[in-house]
Structure formats: C-alpha cells, structure tokens
Amino acid sequence: MIFAFAFPFRFIVDSAMEKPSILFPVTLLLFFSLTISAQKKSVDLIVQNGTVVTMDANRRIIENGAVAVEKGAIVAVGTSTTINRQFSSKQTVNAQNKIVIPGLVNTHTHIPMTLFRGIADDLDLQEWLTKFIFPAEAKNVTEDFVRVGTRLGLAEMIRGGTTTYCDMYYYEDAVADETFKAGMRGVLGETIIDFPVPDNKTHAEAIAYAEKFINKWKNNALIVPALAPHAPYTVSTEHLRNVKRLSDKLNAPIVIHVSETKKEVDDSIAGKKFRPVEYLESIGFLNNRVIVAHTVHINDAEIDILKRRGVGAAHNPQSNMKLASGVAPVPQMLAKDLAVGLGTDGAASNNDLSLWEEMDTAAKLHKVYANDPKVLTAAQAFEMATIRGARALHLEKSIGSLETGKRADIVIVDFDELHQTPFYNIYSHLVYATKADDVSTVIIDGRVVMRDRRLLTLDESVIKKDANAYRQKIITSLSN
Ligand SMILES: [Zn+2]
C-alpha cells in the first residue's frame, strides 16, 4: 500500500513539471492495474463460474458463483465477479455449466467390506452375519485385506463425490493410514465386539488397541479416530461402560449399531427389560459424541432420548431394504430436527457406496411407506447427505456446507448429461436424476483429489488388480 500512495504523488509532481506525452495514459493504466492487483488477495484455489449450492442456513444458491480456498479452508463464497475482484489464484477449477456442492457425507459404512461385495445376498441380517460375514471375516481379514478393501472403497467414494465417511471395522489404524494418504476425511471407529476377531482376541486387547489408535490420530486434519462397539447385543454392559469411559477420557466419538432389526428389540426387551435406546440411556452411554447406525425399530420416546442427548443417527435405506430389516422412522426424526444423515452401510449389504442412490432411495422409500409423497422431499434428502449428515457426525462446524471458515470439501457435478436434460429444479435433479458418475471434480480439505474424473491420489488399475486377487482367496475360504 505504501507503493500505491507514493507512486501517484510522484506522478502528479512529475506531470506538473513536464509536458504531457503518450507516457501519461500508459503510466496511469499501469498504476491502476498495479493498485488493483496489489489489493487482490492471492489464495490457493478458486472454483468459479458454477452454480453454487451452499447448504448454508439460508440455503443460498449462487448462479455463476465461486468459492475461494486458502490453506484447506473456504475463505469466501460469492458470485464469480465478486470473488475474482477480491482474490487471485494460480490454481482454478472452471465449473461452468456445472453444479458446485458441499462434499457428500456417508454416515455409516464398513469400508474394507468392499472385498465381500456380493458374496452372500438375499438373506436376513442374522443369517447373513452369522453364516457368511462373521466366518468370512474370521478366515480372511488381515491388515493387508483391510488396506486393499479400504483403497477400493476410497476410490469408489471419491468418484461418487463423498468427501467424509464414518467407518467401523478391524485394523482401523490401517484404514486411517490409507484414508489419510488418499486425502479423504473420515470418522474411523475401531470395532469392539465380545468374541475374538482378526486384530484383537480379547476385550482388553481391543480397548488397548483403540486407546493407542485414538492417541495416534486425534490431532490429524482429516482423521477423527473413534470407538466402535458393534451393537448392544454383541457387547456386554460392562464392556460398553469401558468404551464410554475411554470415550470420555479421550474425547472420542462412539459409533454403534442400534435397533437394526425387530428381533434385536424383542431380545433386548426379553433380556434387559428395555428397548435398545432406552437400555443405552439407562447405562449412561448416550451423549453428543455418539453416532447410532440404523435405528430402524425405535419409537417416539427413543427419538426424544436421542434428541435430548444430542446423538447423531445414520439412516441406511438400501441396506435396511436389502436385509429386510424394516423402515426407520425418518420423517418423525426429521420432525424433531434430529441429526440424521445417510449411510451406505458396507458394500456387502448394499452393494455399492453411492450416496446418490441413498438420497434417491430415502426420498422414495419413505413416500411409499407413509403413502405420502410429501413426507420426505428431495431438498430434505440432499440436506441429509450434506449438512445434516455433518451434524450426525458432530462435524457441522467444519463441514457439510460451503461457508466461509469451513474446511474446503467441494464437489463439482456435471449437469448436462442426457438423464439430466432438461433442467428445472436443482434439488430434484441432484436427488432424482444425478448419478455417482456425474461427479467430475472432488476437493477435500482444499486438495484436488479427482480432477475431470481422474483420481489423483489413488491408482485404479492397481486397486482393481489387488481386489481381484482377494476374490479367489475368499471363495476358497468359504468352501472349506
Ligand atoms: Zn453397519
């Protein structure tokens, strides 16, 4: 700014003493361009010329909009004209004729289970889990299996515009390592369950693993390490209390399956005299660090408990439909403004990791179940996949919308494919017409991880080769 003030002063003095010449307008032009560029702030990245769906409190949609990013955070959101007047950047993403949305939030999955995609279908949860999944896991899951499955899941999710996911599995330290290397954001929970599993043979070992894992990752920019007791019916009261104590001590989230099937609720009432959510409340387990997955069979009183305790919930419509678990009371949860997001669940019960399908399914499932097409709108489904999903993971202060100060998790979606033509309503198109393949560019924490459909942090051909190598091993293990 000193330069900007000093220069015109000298210029005026000089021009008063000398005859005007051709140098006069040229110098004037140079001065103004220097002044303007001196005022522009240089940032790391500008996404520009797109329709920006902010998902902020006013649900602002900005035509010909732009987002400026510096040090992984959003520093400004506005029209392209405004942003380009204030900021300059060597790195830009042109989103012309495209839609710019907050990165999608997958609130529940088991990412390494991509390697079990399609090994057993068309079964109910108990038969599927006890006859196929638990034995297949016991025979196949190693740290290498987890790494290969995680890379496959990460590539699939990034391709589909998911920028944050909530996981629960074994060897979660390896999941975190692969996730961080790929530049993806995750709330990652180490599974705790009351039988010997591939990474830990006892409860004490699992708790020790979890504590070490959480301490290792707790200050990471992308990873939120968590505890993942499998379910109230597979982890004893004493062990759930240990998990809660550790969560309190380390300020770590807890991810848990709750009320997934009617059988679980019936068994809970028979054995514990409480429904599952009531039982968790009775042992002091619930607070605003807990994320419950499924909650298919919960009543109004249980919704009130979840709301009062600030618990987040993950709704997994496709998994619940495929395992015929039932239909979660999502419209009732939304009516009480519960933090309920969307999840794919593991790829073995879905069988993909596309949140676009979950949005579409959620909106349609609840319409047909309630016999009311207004019961869950496209805008609500999109909200569940973004800002409400962020609330479900207790991360709404940093992600879930495109707002100044939030982390720069930004997805650019093509909007001119045949199945998107013509275009009238943005939320309708996002939920009912758009597919995972329409995502063109993905930015997580300010870093471009996919540009024009090309993954920049993961190698697809290696991922497919590694995953296929596990196929034969898994088939052989299940026939023994
Ligand atoms: Zn699950």
Helix axes 2-17, 23-39, angle to 10 degrees: 170
Using a pLDDT cut of 70, give the percent of the chain over it. 92
State the distance from the centre of ligand 1 to the C-alpha of 110, rounded, in angstroms: 6
Q: What is the mean pLDDT of residues 185-212?
A: 97
On whether the CB atoms of residues 186 and 166 are closer than 8 A, the answer is: yes
The SS3 call for residue 421 is coil
State the distance from the centre of ligand 1 to the C-alpha of 199, rounded, in angstroms: 18
The SS3 call for residue 258 is strand
State the distance from the centre of ligand 1 to the C-alpha of 336, rounded, in angstroms: 24
State the distance from the centre of ligand 1 to the C-alpha of 244, rounded, in angstroms: 20
479 pLDDT band, cuts 50/70/90, is confident
Q: Report CA 99 to chain centroid distance, whole Å.
A: 18
β-strand pairing of 312-315 with 87-88? unpaired
* pLDDT given at position 22: 57
State the distance from the centre of ligand 1 to the C-alpha of 152, rounded, in angstroms: 18
On whether the CB atoms of residues 324 and 124 are closer than 8 A, the answer is: yes
Residue-wise pLDDT for 138-154, tens only, equals 999 999 999 999 999 99
**Helix H or strand E segment including 413:** strand 410-414
On whether the CB atoms of residues 250 and 211 are closer than 8 A, the answer is: yes
Convert 189-255 into a string of H (helix), E (strand) and C (coil).
Answer: EEEECCCCCCCCCCHHHHHHHHHHHHHHHCCCCCEEEEEEECCCCCCCHHHHHHHHHHHHHHCCCEE
* pLDDT given at position 403: 98
Average model confidence (pLDDT) across the chain? 93
Q: What is the mean pLDDT of residues 415-436?
A: 97
* Residue 467: DSSP 8-state: H
State the distance from the centre of ligand 1 to the C-alpha of 392, rounded, in angstroms: 15
State the distance from the centre of ligand 1 to the C-alpha of 403, rounded, in angstroms: 31
Using a pLDDT cut of 90, give the percent of the chain over it. 87
State the distance from the centre of ligand 1 to the C-alpha of 231, rounded, in angstroms: 10
* pLDDT given at position 125: 86
6 pLDDT band, cuts 50/70/90, is very low
Phi, psi of 409 (to 5 degrees): -105, 100
State the distance from the centre of ligand 1 to the C-alpha of 69, rounded, in angstroms: 34
State the distance from the centre of ligand 1 to the C-alpha of 121, rounded, in angstroms: 15
* pLDDT given at position 30: 56
Is the predicted pLDDT of residue 8 greater than 50, yes or no? no
1 pLDDT band, cuts 50/70/90, is very low
9 pLDDT band, cuts 50/70/90, is very low
Alpha-carbon Rg for the chain in angstroms:
25
State the distance from the centre of ligand 1 to the C-alpha of 34, rounded, in angstroms: 57
Listed range (29-38, 71-80, 201-210, 267-276) with the worst mean pLDDT: 29-38
* pLDDT given at position 37: 52
Residue-wise pLDDT for 41-95, tens only, equals 999 999 999 999 999 999 999 999 999 999 999 999 999 999 999 999 999 999 9
State the distance from the centre of ligand 1 to the C-alpha of 345, rounded, in angstroms: 5
Tokens 């699992």, located at residue: 206
* pLDDT given at position 478: 83
State the distance from the centre of ligand 1 to the C-alpha of 167, rounded, in angstroms: 9
**Helix H or strand E segment including 187:** strand 185-192
Residue-wise pLDDT for 246-303, tens only, equals 999 999 999 999 999 999 999 999 999 999 999 999 999 999 999 999 999 999 999 9
State the distance from the centre of ligand 1 to the C-alpha of 47, rounded, in angstroms: 35
State the distance from the centre of ligand 1 to the C-alpha of 28, rounded, in angstroms: 66
State the distance from the centre of ligand 1 to the C-alpha of 330, rounded, in angstroms: 17
The SS3 call for residue 175 is helix
The whole-angstrom separation of Cα 441 and Cα 45 is 13
Give residues whose Cβ lies within 5 Å of ion ligand 1: 345
Q: What is the mean pLDDT of residues 336-365?
A: 97
State the distance from the centre of ligand 1 to the C-alpha of 436, rounded, in angstroms: 21
State the distance from the centre of ligand 1 to the C-alpha of 319, rounded, in angstroms: 9
Q: What is the mean pLDDT of residues 108-115?
A: 98
**Helix H or strand E segment including 447:** strand 447-451
What tokens does 84 get?
Answer: 């380009």
State the distance from the centre of ligand 1 to the C-alpha of 257, rounded, in angstroms: 6
Listed range (6-20, 198-212, 391-405) with the worst mean pLDDT: 6-20
* pLDDT given at position 71: 98
State the distance from the centre of ligand 1 to the C-alpha of 13, rounded, in angstroms: 76
